[in-house]
Structure 1
Amino acid sequence: MNFSLYAAKDFSTFNEYLAAVLACLLAFLTGMHAGWTSPFIPKLLSSKDYPFHITSEEASYIAIFGPIGDLFGAILSMLLVDRMGRKNTLVILGTPMLFSSLLIYFSYLSPVLLYIARFCGGISFGTVSTIITMYTSEISRPAIRGKLGVILMLLYTPGTMAVNVIGKYFSMYETAIFSALVTILFLCTFSLMPETPYYLLMKGKTRMAEKSLCFFRRTQNVEEELKKLILVVQRQLSESRRFQDIFLIDYNRKAFILMMFGRIFQQTCGAMAFLMYAQYLLAESSDFIQPQFAVVVIYFVQTCVTPLSGYSSDRYGRIPLLMFSCAGCSLCLLMLGGYFSLKDFQSLSLPISCPVFILGFFYIAYQIGLGSLMLVMLGELFSASIKPKAIALVNIMYALAVIITTKIYQVTTDYWHPSIAPYFFALCTISAAFSINKYFPETKGKSLEEIQFELKGNKKTATHN
């Protein structure tokens, strides 16, 4: 075996991995943004290390101002990605994350700055699943496209984990400095990476596309791949790219409806609501384990589960894994609701560690299917001609679902009972399981062209039957 040749061939993918990792530094930052409420809302509510009194109602709006920013981020992504390019859009819409960190640092002047900071961070959050997935898929060769796609979640979840660790030992202001430094690192390093060859060919910049390919392939011999890519881009540019085609063309509309509900299902199981209030939810378990440490362990397990999700979905299929995920999440939610009901309405002495273990298994079940695979299918179901617009619209619906489910959790917990939200989310997740099983296509082992063909043929087949 010629090991030196194997090593050289393997090293040829270095620039692709490098660019993907640098792009996904923004995913790490948005993970910090998403998990920020978990360590710091309890501190805000107790006025610890903060000069202003924050009520539970005000804290809920601090939490949901992030998803409101997501809406604007998704819209801006849709408007900029085909005009400015994938790389430039990531840099432009990653910059608000720096403003978010600075505003949090200066929020001791006024709590209003916290609302603005969460909104700015949300703008950057709204770009991640749209632009990063496009960038990584367009720079990578087919043999490693799946591996590069997983990097997003592999850095996003550690971001949520990191903010909980830092939030335990450092103040809100020190955490903001750390976030600002990582944002500067992202902006300074990723801005040096080339634009994707695909986008450059879209703009007729063949010479620049060739240079981009040479960088990512680490070779000057890219003529054959460049010719094939030119043909692919010409074919895709020949398709109609109008915004209304998302709704007017049958297979586009079907893909949009499926992924809209798929992204909503990700939130109607309560994943983001529990994430934002995790330490508050686990406060009563502090005698068993510190809430901050419990959250870190949960996110660490999620990080470990993410590669398993990708491997298992390629072996067993997307739909079986999504069904397993829905079943596991529903069971955990019913158990969590049952714990709060028995604790408050029955004279039973239940272990205070129950919510920790239940949430741990909930997030394992969530990450194995709903948390990871909906993002995979988001890049699989849409035609390339309308993908940026369709994904942006789907992400807008996702952000609205985050806002609604987070508010449902806060209202039902504060004004009714902590068991109401888990029972409600369990009912939604059971409904999601039936919908996924009945309507979602299996995409395992199929090319993007085969998936599009299946979407186009469903209506005809159904009519014939």
Structure 2
Amino acid sequence: MCHLTVDSNMLDGLRRDFQKCWPQILAIAIGCLGTLNTGFQYAWTSPYIVQITKDKENYNISEDEASYFAVIPPLAMMLTCPVSSYITSTIGPKKGFLLTTIPNLLNWILIATAKQAYVFYIARIFVGISDGIMFTSFPAYIGEISTPKVRGTFGNGPTLAIYLGEFLINLIGMYLTARQSAYVCSTVPVLFGLLFPLMPESPYYLLTIGKEEEAKKSLKWLRRKQDVEEHFQQLKADVERQMSEKGTWKELIFIQSNRKALLGGVFLRISQQFSGLQVFAVYTLYIFEKSGTNLNPHMSTITFVAIVLTLNSISCCTSDYLGRKKAYIISLAACTIVLWIIGVYFCIDKFQPQIDLTHFQWLPLAGLITYTIFASFGISIIPSLMLGELFSSSIKSKGLAVLISALGLSTTIMYYLFYYLNTTFGMYFPFIFFAVCSSVSTALSNWLVPETKGLTLEEIQRSLSRKKNETPA
């Protein structure tokens, strides 16, 4: 009887919590339509580089030419991110994110009509522009509209939507041509463009431009209550303190909290990419085709991406329990071990042909699945989750511009390196390279990754401002 009462009280508490925060969850969920499209565009190369290079009737594109499909978006994102950051800081995270509808639609229109490589290149440039705006606007939007509890649980929604998009585009790639995929996928940015304008602007942003009444109205909608005066005054004080900083490039380096946020954010993005995480998403089918196993490459790809989606769905709901820092370190260390095992397998396959690996041809798929299990609660989700948490209002646009540049540069390098190292030396070399990089990153994580679990944006700034041995007040 007592057990039933406890369960009933717990359910009532959960119901009350949901009634208070469902507008925040709804805003994040509708925004995730934009990142679902990002997932389509990220992993579009996985099924379609192989399909397009083999289809000599409709396209005359070589494997070398098609390899740039993966490289161009992060490069374009890096080059255009100062503009993306300026757009977000000028018109606000909501309107900035909404602008991604335009380059997303242009990308799918060009893919639907493309026959030559240069048209695909232009389409992929639009992908990079969209990614730059999305990464500077949506994480900031989530961080500014949600409570720490909602942000901890649902702040991983965009990452989950990206993985869902990656799964769906690989599934679509089994049955539809590149042109047909463009028609199907273009419906998502259209839906996003129709629904997201109905969501409120960030109260943080509204306060920075002096629109107090609109900020209060936004807070009332997001918190589901009419009396928000106490929270509004606290938010106003936080924004005023953060905006009292000049927000110059010099302050990004010389103010301790900004410097720690910058180092932590850049490290998270670079270590994530140099672990091979995004390479596996973009080149999934290519890896399985080149691995020499007797497993069906398409089925291996779908199995792998489905497991990625499932595991990250679970992790997105449970990531707040471990804490950002601990989850990242454990995840990265475990992934490092798996990368060494896969690298050694491919090394033996290349240099010791006399060794019969017939009974171990399942290892590349099993290895990548194991990698995914360990990546799902850490390196897959933590960098994106923390993107909107680290910087104060005055410096956020500049800080995010640097982080997006780091992401674009590191992703571009990794895509190119993977293709070059594989074609020049063999599949073993990229995996050994990823393993070495991840080993170094694991050793550095304890010093460079900050902890933000359960903290408001203002509390995070205070935590970053504290000296190493200083305890909270």
TM-score (norm 2): 0.89
What is the aligned partner in structure 2 of residue 90 from structure 1? 97
Tell whether the 8 Å contact from 1:74 to 1:126 is kept in structure 2 after alignment. yes
Q: Provide closer, same or farther for how the CA distance between residues 87 and 175 of structure 1 changes in structure 2, counting only shifts above 3 A.
A: same
SS of equivalent residue, structure 1 residue 191: helix
- 1:256-278 CA-partner distances (Å, limit 9, x unpaired): 12321221111111112222111
Structure of greater relative contact order (alpha carbons < 8 Å, 6+ residues apart): 2
Q: Which piece of structure 1 moves more, 328-337 or 249-258?
A: 249-258
Aligned length: 459
What is the aligned partner in structure 2 of residue 37 from structure 1? 45
Alignment of 1:31-70 (within 5 A): 31-47=39-55, 51-70=58-77
* CA distance, structure 1, for counterparts of residue 160 and residue 201 of structure 2: 23
What is the aligned partner in structure 1 of residue 177 from structure 2? 171
Q: Which piece of structure 1 moves more, 58-67 or 155-164?
A: 58-67
SS of equivalent residue, structure 1 residue 54: coil
Give 4+ residue runs of structure 1 displaced > 6 Å after superposition: 1-6
For the pair 1:291 / 2:297, whether they are aligned, the reply is yes
* CA distance, structure 1, for counterparts of residue 209 and residue 157 of structure 2: 28
What is the aligned partner in structure 2 of residue 196 from structure 1? 202
Q: Which segments of 5 or more consecutive residues in structure 2 lack a partner in the other structure? A: 1-7
* CA distance, structure 2, for counterparts of residue 218 and residue 358 of structure 1: 46
* CA distance, structure 2, for counterparts of residue 326 and residue 286 of structure 1: 27
Alignment of 1:432-451 (within 5 A): 432-445=441-454, 448-451=457-460
Tell whether the 8 Å contact from 1:313 to 1:444 is kept in structure 2 after alignment. no
* CA distance, structure 2, for counterparts of residue 221 and residue 125 of structure 1: 37
Tell whether the 8 Å contact from 2:159 to 2:384 is kept in structure 1 after alignment. no
Q: Which piece of structure 1 moves more, 371-380 or 113-122?
A: 371-380
* CA distance, structure 2, for counterparts of residue 272 and residue 162 of structure 1: 16
The sequence identity of aligned pairs, in percent, is: 32
What is the aligned partner in structure 1 of residue 276 from structure 2? 270
What is the aligned partner in structure 1 of residue 420 from structure 2? 411
What is the aligned partner in structure 2 of residue 106 from structure 1? 113
Alignment of 1:11-30 (within 5 A): 11-30=19-38
Tell whether the 8 Å contact from 1:73 to 1:125 is kept in structure 2 after alignment. no
Alignment of 1:49-448 (within 5 A): 51-108=58-115, 110-283=116-289, 289-306=295-312, 308-309=314-315, 314-346=320-352, 347-350=354-357, 351-445=360-454, 448=457
Letter in 1 for 2:38: T
Tell whether the 8 Å contact from 2:350 to 2:426 is kept in structure 1 after alignment. no
Letter in 1 for 2:281: L
Letter in 1 for 2:100: L
For the pair 1:10 / 2:44, whether they are aligned, the reply is no
- 1:334-380 CA-partner distances (Å, limit 9, x unpaired): 22222222223222232332211111111222222112122333334
* CA distance, structure 2, for counterparts of residue 167 and residue 310 of structure 1: 26
1:175 Cα deviation after fit: 0.8
* CA distance, structure 1, for counterparts of residue 382 and residue 260 of structure 2: 18
Q: Provide closer, same or farther for how the CA distance between residues 180 and 201 of structure 1 changes in structure 2, counting only shifts above 3 A.
A: same
* CA distance, structure 2, for counterparts of residue 188 and residue 446 of structure 1: 33
* CA distance, structure 2, for counterparts of residue 345 and residue 409 of structure 1: 19
Across the aligned residues of Structure 1 and Structure 2, the Cα RMSD in angstroms comes to 2.6
Q: Provide closer, same or farther for how the CA distance between residues 390 and 343 of structure 1 changes in structure 2, counting only shifts above 3 A.
A: same
1:20 Cα deviation after fit: 1.0
- 1:80-106 CA-partner distances (Å, limit 9, x unpaired): 112111111011133201100000001
* CA distance, structure 1, for counterparts of residue 88 and residue 340 of structure 2: 42
Letter in 1 for 2:86: L
SS of equivalent residue, structure 2 residue 155: helix
* CA distance, structure 1, for counterparts of residue 229 and residue 257 of structure 2: 34
1:211 Cα deviation after fit: 2.6
Q: Provide closer, same or farther for how the CA distance between residues 321 and 221 of structure 1 changes in structure 2, counting only shifts above 3 A.
A: closer
Tell whether the 8 Å contact from 2:153 to 2:320 is kept in structure 1 after alignment. no
Q: Provide closer, same or farther for how the CA distance between residues 366 and 72 of structure 1 changes in structure 2, counting only shifts above 3 A.
A: same
TM-score (norm 1): 0.91
1:8 Cα deviation after fit: 6.3
Letter in 2 for 1:403: T
1:37 Cα deviation after fit: 0.6
